[in-house]
Amino acid sequence: MRFEAAHVRHIRLIDADLRERDREELAAAWGKPEAAMLQCLTSSFYARTAFVGFEPLAMYGLAPMSMLAGHARAWCFGTAAIDRHPFAFARASRLALYALFGHCSLMTNIVEKSDRAAIRWVEWLGGSLMTDREFLYGGKTFQQFVIAGGLAKCQRG
C-alpha cells in the first residue's frame, strides 16, 4: 500500500473504477464525478491517493472551512478496489485518518442516508451522524457527519 499526493491525473484512474453507488451519489449531489473530484482537489489544502499495488483505492482530502477553529470538509472518492481489498482499505483508512488529524481537529461532510456501508465506515472511523442535519440533493437524502479528534488546529500543507 502506498499514498501519493493527489494529482489531477488520478481523477481519470478513480473515475474509471468508481463504484456505481458512488457514481449515483455524486451525480445527485454534484453532477459529473470528474467535476466533483476536480473541485474537491483544487479547493483542498491536503489531498492524497491511496493505492494497493497499482490499483487506486481512493482519493481523499481536506478543504478549508474554518482554519481558526480547526475544522475542515473531508472528502473521499472510492473505487471498486475497496470491495476487492477490504482489509487494505480499512488499514489505509486508519492511516489516512491519523494523517488528516495532523491538519485539523474536526472533519465534516455529508453521506447519503441510505448508504449503509458508507455510514458504517464513518462510524467505524469514530464519526457521528447529525440527525438534525439532512439535505435533499437530486432526489437523495444526505446526512451530515462529524469526525472529531485531537486538539490540533487546521494547518495548511
Q: What is the CATH number of the domain that holds 83?
A: 3.40.630.30
Is 151's pLDDT higher than 90? no
* pLDDT exceeds 90 at position 51: yes
Mean per-residue pLDDT for 62-84?
89
Residue 157 has pLDDT above 60, yes or no: no
Is residue 80 one of the residues assigned to a domain? yes
**Alpha-carbon gap, residue 78 to 49, rounded angstroms:** 10
Count of domains in the chain?
A: 1
Would residue 135 count as lying in a domain? yes
Q: Does 128 score more than 90 pLDDT?
A: yes
Q: Would 16 be classed as within a structural domain?
A: yes
Confidence of residue 66 (pLDDT cuts 50, 70, 90): low
Strands 140-148 and 106-112: antiparallel
Whether residue 67 has pLDDT greater than 90: no
* Overall average pLDDT of the 77-100 stretch: 95
Q: Is 121 part of any domain?
A: yes
The mean pLDDT of 124-152, rounded to a whole number, is 87
**pLDDT mean across residues, the chain:** 91
Q: Quick check: helix, strand or coil at residue 118?
A: helix
Which is higher by pLDDT, 150 or 136?
136
pLDDT at 133: 87
User: Is 142 part of any domain?
Assistant: yes
Note the pLDDT of residue 30. 87
Q: Where are the alpha helices (DSSP H) in the chain?
A: 8-16, 20-29, 33-43, 81-84, 86-100, 116-124
pTM > 0.85: yes
Full domain range(s) for residue 128: 2-148
Asked if residue 153 belongs to a domain, the reply is no
- Residue 153 — very low, low, confident or very high, per pLDDT cuts 50/70/90? very low
Q: Is residue 70 part of a domain?
A: yes
